[in-house]
Amino acid sequence: MFTGIISDIGEVESVEAGANLHRLRIACSYDAETIIPGASIACSGPCLTVAAHGKSSNRSWFEVDAGAETLERTTARHWKAGTRLNLERPLKIGGELGGHLVTGHVDAVATIAAIADFDGMRRIDVNVPENLARFIAEKGSVALDGTSLTVNSVESYFFSVLLIPHTLQVTTWGEKRAGDKINLEVDLMARYAARLASGSF
């Protein structure tokens, strides 16, 4: 379980691409001794399991496997050497919940429809897949590329979020452009509320 508060920006160093499985090596600033094989790290949204770790030069690295489901539902299939990723390590019991409860189970890939910069901030309009639009609510929470954000407005199959200067500095959001694909995870509570309201069991 995560909170959507990004703690590091990682960079893909290499990709071993198979038909249904990609092995990725990701450089990061985490202390290599604290990265444990079998542990989870959210990488721009999807929760991935550490398969190996180490240190080279002055940076740590860890390796993860992105399986068929992850490759199908996320942007991981497009990651290559040099791709920068928002990283977050799991929430510890008793830790500060600064964002919202994020599972690292990406629902779909969404598209950035438009970007507007003003006063050091950035408004991003997102085109959400039609089947997920009902889970997006004004002033609700959403995880985009692993980042916990508040929905500012909703109109049809589009919604907007506003990023403050700090968020732009400590994540990859300052690098995004209109048309980019991003990982979308809807709010966990919204998902269960919709399931209960549907009455279909």
CA pair distance 106, 21, nearest whole angstrom: 17
Q: Which helix (H) or strand (E) holds 167?
A: helix 165-170
The predicted-structure confidence for 73-128, as pLDDT tens digits, reads as follows: 999 999 999 999 999 999 877 777 777 889 999 999 999 999 999 999 999 999 99
CATH of 8-88, one of 3.90.1300.10, 3.40.50.2300, 3.40.50.970, 2.40.30.20: 2.40.30.20
Sign for the CA dihedral angle at 28, 70, 97, 144 comes to positive
Q: What is the pTM of this model?
A: 0.93
Please enumerate in sequence order all residues whose Cβ is within 8 A of that of 93, keeping only pairs 6 or more positions apart, or say none.
Answer: none
Domains 8-88 and 108-198 share a fold: yes
With 90 as the cut, is the pLDDT of residue 39 above it? yes
For 128-150, how does the pLDDT look when each residue is reduced to its tens digit (9 = 90+)? 999 999 999 999 999 999 999 99
CATH of domain 108-198: 2.40.30.20
Mean pLDDT for the chain?
Answer: 93
Residue 201's pLDDT is what?
56
| Annotated domain spans of the chain | 8-88, 108-198
pLDDT band of 194, cuts 50, 70, 90: confident
CA 93 to chain centre: 21
- Which one has a higher pLDDT value, 101 or 14? 14
pLDDT of residue 92: 78
Q: What proportion of the chain, given as a percentage, has pLDDT over 70? A: 97
